[in-house]
Every structure is written in C-alpha cells, then in structure tokens.
Amino acid sequence: MSHAEGVDLKRRRVLIASTAAMGAVGVAAVATPFVRSWFPSAKAEAAGAPVTQDISRIDDGQMVVVKYRGKPIYIVKRTKEMMDGLTKVESSLVDPNSESSLQPEYCKNQSRSKDNSEVLVCEGVCTHLGCAPTFRPEVGAADLGGNSWFGGFFCPCHGSKYDLAGRVFTSMPAPRNLPIPEYNLSGTILTVGVA
C-alpha cells in the first residue's frame, strides 16, 4: 500500500464518520418534533385537568358555571326549599332514581349529589341535542308549568325541562337526566374531575 492510498483511506474514514454524524443529527432533528406530536398539547392537558371552585362564595339558591373538558359545569347551591321540591316532582320524571343516567355511583340518590348534599354539580348540556339549558330557580313560573314547577333547568331550544337535581321531566325531547361528572367536595373547595 502506497502513501497516497493510506492518506485516501484516512480521508475516507473521516468523511464517512462526518457524514454519519451529520445524518444522526438530521434524523434527531426530524424525529424530535414527530415524537413530541404524540404528546398532548399544554392546552389539551389543561382542558382535561381537574377544575376547582370555592363554593363558599356562592349564595344559597345561586348557580355558577365552570368549564371542564370543554363543557359547562353547573354548580348550584340549593336551599332547603329547593331540596324539598325534589320529592314533589318525582312522579313527573322519566328517571327519578337515576338508574339509566350518567353519574358516579355516589350520586345515585334523590338529590343526585355526593352525600345527598345541597350542592348540585352537573354538566350544563341538554341530553337531547347538546344545547345549554338555562337556570330557572323560580317556583311557579307560568311559562314552565305554574304550580307544577318547583325550579330547575329549561332548554329553550326544544323545550326540555329538568328539576333541580338535573332529572328530566316526562314527555320532553331530552331522553336522559343531565350527566354528573366525577367530583370531590372538601370543606368549601369543590374539585371537578376527581372522585
């Protein structure tokens, strides 16, 4: 082997090593964004993250709305009168015992709330076509049935009515009660998205 062939062999090895290194850097540069695309965005992670609300700031008989996973969540602090009205409408409801409704096991009770409390947490999405029902807490509203209306939710799009536990009345377009998400109540801090 001559001196010229030895120099060419060294050059060849340096060029091969350099090309391989540059190729590896190029593959890493292309692969990194591709692999990162498999992970959810910060916005998507935030949309699925639990939401907290201090319910001590909600007056009795009032409702607040928070967003969880892109859906409005209604939080209602019911009064004793509102709770008493729940039994008065049971015979007019499609599913008064919430047997075919979407809710955690701990909400399968008359008030559809954890520990049968006065706090209602439900999705504000009508089970008919996904409209947002309005909160109508006034008792005896003439446009909602007069003496048979003890407060609840009314979907103005197609006329579905729900009581103050989110249970749908009979003969309504909506087939099921309003869904109840997983939630936890620790003192006055309500967390939607965890049990």
Each residue of 18-41: pLDDT tens digit?
A: 888 888 788 777 777 766 766 666
CATH number, position 151: 2.102.10.10
Lowest mean pLDDT among 7-21, 86-100, 133-147, 165-179: 7-21
> pLDDT tens across 42-80, in order?
665 556 688 999 999 899 999 999 999 889 999 999 999
- Pull the structure tokens for residue 87: 């039994």
Residue 27 lies in a domain: no
Q: Tell me if 35 is assigned to some domain.
A: no
Q: Which tokens is 135 given?
A: 């909160």
In a domain, 61, yes or no: yes
Contact 66, 119 (CB under 8 A): no
Give the domain extent around 88. Answer: 46-192
B/e letters for 154-188, b = 16+ CB within 10 Å, e = fewer, are bbeeeebbbbbbbbbbeebebebbbbbbbbbeeee
Q: What region does 116 belong to: left with phi over 0, alpha with psi -120 to 50, or beta?
A: left
- Identify the pLDDT of residue 76: 96
Q: Is residue 161 situated within a structural domain?
A: yes
Cβ–Cβ < 8 Å for 169, 89: yes
The answer to whether position 96 is within a domain reads yes
Query: Residue 120 and residue 111: Cα distance in Å, rounded?
Result: 8
Domain-embedded: residue 103 = yes
Q: Higher-confidence residue: 188 or 25?
A: 188
Q: Is 19 within the bounds of a domain?
A: no
Residue 36 lies in a domain: no
* Model confidence at 155: pLDDT above 70: yes
- What element of type H or E holds 186? strand 183-186
Domain count, the chain: 1
